[in-house]
Amino acid sequence: MKRIETGALTLFLLLAGISCAAANGRTPLGAVQKQALAALHKQAKVTGYHADSRGEVRLIYGELSAAVPAGGDRRRAALAFLERNKGLFGLESAERELAFVQNAAGTGQSIKLQQVYAGLPVFERSVTVHFGPDGRIRAVTGNLAADSAPASTRPAFPAAEAVRKAVPAPSAGRAAVRDPDLGVFCDERTGRPHLAYAVPLSKETVFVDAQTGEVLHRRGEVHEAATTGTGTNALGQAVDPLNMYAGQDFTIPNDPRWQNVMQNAAKGAFNLVDYFNLELGIIYGMNAQGQEDRSQLIFIFSDNNVFGAVGASQVVQQAGVSGQQNLETTLNYYKTAFGRNGINNASLPAIHAENFLFPGKPMNAQWRNNDSYMVFSIGGPVPATPIVSQPVSASLGAVAHEMTHGVTATSSGLEMKNESGALNESMSDAFAYLVRASVTNNFAAWLMYPDLFAAPADGCLNAAVLGTKYCRSLIAPRTYVQPDRVNGQYYRPPVIDPNAGNDFGYVHTNMGIPNKVFQLMIAGGNHYGVDVPPFDNGGLQASAEAVAQFQYVLNGGVWYNSATDFETAKNTMDGLVYANYSANAGKLSTVDLAWYSVGVAMADMENVTLDNFTVTSALTTPMTNGELRYDASTKITVGGTGPYVVQAGAHVLFCAPTVSFQAGYRAEAGSTVTTECP
């Protein structure tokens, strides 16, 4: 159990008038916020803002402050800005209501501040102040939330009892990995704040009401990748040199979660412990011995300095070599591309466990958030299919995907539920693509993880054999049962109670939507009749590298936060373009049109042109209400620069004050086209 000691830079949150309830959409500002915004306008240049359904500011951007000199105290400048503009963010006193969390990576610098109440953290609530390269505050993002103080700040029972209530019957993977934290939990279902314990387990964090003992919420902490493919096979490849440690006196992480585990774990004469770059974090290769209990981990070791040649442990050793190689590549990519020092930007050890047990799932991998390590299955036959999987760590993309979950967990903290969880999963897919492309130089390889199949030989491409369970595509998500548009085929709406049974709000399904946005930003293209220009016009590689920088600042620079949803992501991207790209019109167009094409924030667009697209009944029938809908606040032009055809049986809604049908537009007999929208 811990309280946040704030000292001179303490910030406590008693947010006046801000509800704990979930909020989406954009509405006008409240009276207090309007007054505060008017005051800010007198002293700064405000380019735009995004407010939630209660009128509370979640994003504001522009030229918001004078420049902080080089070497100046940006933390204090951030605090002073929030204090001056406290009414805008629902604060009573910024000096008492927030606590410093971290400096985050970015083009300038970002200062993240944790919401607290009476010395206790308000779980998953924070605000980040973003400085531009010129030292000016360029944006503020956050999800501050409170309604009123909890009934009491004194728990009715000790932390140990909270563990028992969270896990009535402890078992492997179902025991607390450290002591619970006491804080305030905002229940989005009821809008009420609760004094609660956060009980961290291996696979989830359980929030337990500290007065009643009720389990309020289970937050998934396991981030999975659907690993598939038959590509680069690290099994049997010669690796020379291979980093390792001769002897058993290597450094054990100074982390109570790992000290006893590693001290008691079996070691050998040579161990897969990699000191290749201490700044990026030591890499520890471990063997789960076909179990899921962390206490059973041993090191991957050998009697000599050759790993994976012969013997009973050959397969595990080879998987360990692959995991280590791919982690080195991923860590080096993050360092070279963004200057990031390891998973958490502070040399966090990169721990990977091979031969981990996923009952009935020999093709799986996870980042385990509360333990801060990666686990990989050893491969083999997949039950009830003709698939034979390689060890999952043989896939560079799979390893990069899981490690990026660690980057996200220690940066933006996107919560693994509903749309924020889909963004989390998509962020990992995006950097899996980027890391792989940095090695292969193939920036047109949109099929994800095609390097895991030992059989059949054509892997993901043989949909008739494999179905769609193990594969996904950035360019064509629907090929593998993921949506490429909100309310489109395969889309699943957010759920009230995210849990393992619904994949925490279908995060591995709806990730297809931000995946498609990412692909469109890189390559451009026409999606549902919307022509999206690439983020950079210098070719595919140049655009991919530019989008990589953009995505990294969103995640590693903490522009996103734990509750960022699709619409907030789009508006946050707009804010980042204004802050770091001088409001570049081309980049704004890419961001806005990419999100528009997948059905997000459509009403934000004033004028839209649709062309070079054919709408079929097969496309519209699976959509919500069996229709394809476009919105714009001013005008939609259809078929102005190319053909737009609505085939028989298809149903399309064009929703704008003015809809202009041009020469390229054609609606076939038996189609339905509507301009009168509900």
Q: What is the pLDDT of residues 317-334, one digit of tens each?
A: 999 999 999 999 999 999
Over residues 336-358, mean pLDDT? 94
Exposed / middle / buried, residue 293 (Cβ in 10 Å: 0-12, 13-18, 19+)? middle
pLDDT of residue 2: 37
CA distance 231 to 657: 51
- For the chain, the average pLDDT equals 85
By DSSP bridging, strand 613-615 and strand 644-646 are parallel
pLDDT of 525 above 60? yes
Over residues 38-49, mean pLDDT? 82
pLDDT of residue 27: 44
Of 53, 47, 61, 44, the residue nearest 553 (C-alpha)? 61
Q: Which two tokens mark 508?
A: 């591995």
Helix (H) or strand (E) holding 431: helix 418-440
CA distance 205 to 218: 6
pLDDT of residue 490: 94
pLDDT of residue 590: 96
Q: Please, what sign has the CA dihedral across residues 176, 178, 181, 185?
A: negative
pLDDT of residue 591: 96
Q: What percent of the chain has pLDDT over 90?
A: 51
Over residues 55-79, mean pLDDT? 85
Q: How many helices (H) and strands (E) does the chain have?
A: 15, 36
CA distance 298 to 457: 33
Over residues 519-536, mean pLDDT? 97
pLDDT of residue 14: 28
Q: What's the pTM value of the predicted model, to 2 decimals?
A: 0.85
Specify whether the backbone of 4 is left (phi greater than 0), alpha (psi in -120 to 50) or beta. beta
Higher-confidence residue of 194 and 451: namely 194
Q: Looking at mean pLDDT, say which of 102-116, 144-158, 294-308 comes out highest.
A: 294-308
Among 18-32, 157-171, 555-569, name the one with the lowest average pLDDT.
18-32
Is the Cβ–Cβ distance between 475 and 526 less than 8 Å?
Answer: no
**Three-state SS sequence of 31-70:** HHHHHHHHHHHHHCEEEEEEECCCCCEEEEEEECCCCCCC
CA distance 565 to 561: 9
pLDDT of residue 246: 83
Q: Which two tokens mark 471?
A: 């594969």
pLDDT of 466 above 90? no
Of 445, 365, 21, the residue nearest 191 (C-alpha)? 21
CA separation, residue 86 to residues 35, 39, 564 (Å): 11, 11, 22
pLDDT of residue 161: 92
Over residues 595-614, mean pLDDT? 94
Q: What is the pLDDT of residues 256-314, one digit of tens each?
A: 889 889 988 998 888 899 887 888 999 999 999 999 888 899 999 987 788 887 665 78
Q: What percent of the chain has pLDDT over 70?
A: 87
Q: Which two tokens mark 42?
A: 């007198």
pLDDT of residue 646: 97
Q: What is the pLDDT of residues 17-39, one digit of tens each?
A: 335 654 443 345 567 777 878 88
Burial letters 378-416, b for 16+ CB under 10 A, else e: bbeebeeeebbbbbbbbbbbbbbbbbbbbbbbbbbbbbb
Band (pLDDT 50/70/90 cuts) for residue 182 is very high
Is the Cβ–Cβ distance between 218 and 187 less than 8 Å?
Answer: no
Q: Which two tokens mark 606?
A: 């004033």
Q: For domain 7-142, say whether CATH 3.30.460 is its number.
A: no
pLDDT of 603 above 90? no
pLDDT of residue 471: 80
At CB < 8 A and 24+ separation, what contacts does 254-257 make?
Answer: 255/349, 255/372, 256/178, 257/177, 257/178, 257/371, 257/372
CA distance 400 to 323: 10
Q: State the CB neighbour count (10 A cutoff) for residue 18.
A: 26
Higher-confidence residue of 3 and 71: namely 71
Of 238, 152, 230, the residue nearest 196 (C-alpha)? 152
Q: Please, what sign has the CA dihedral across residues 75, 77, 78, 79?
A: positive
CA distance 425 to 402: 9
Cis check for the bond before 386: say yes or no (omega within 30 of 0).
Answer: no
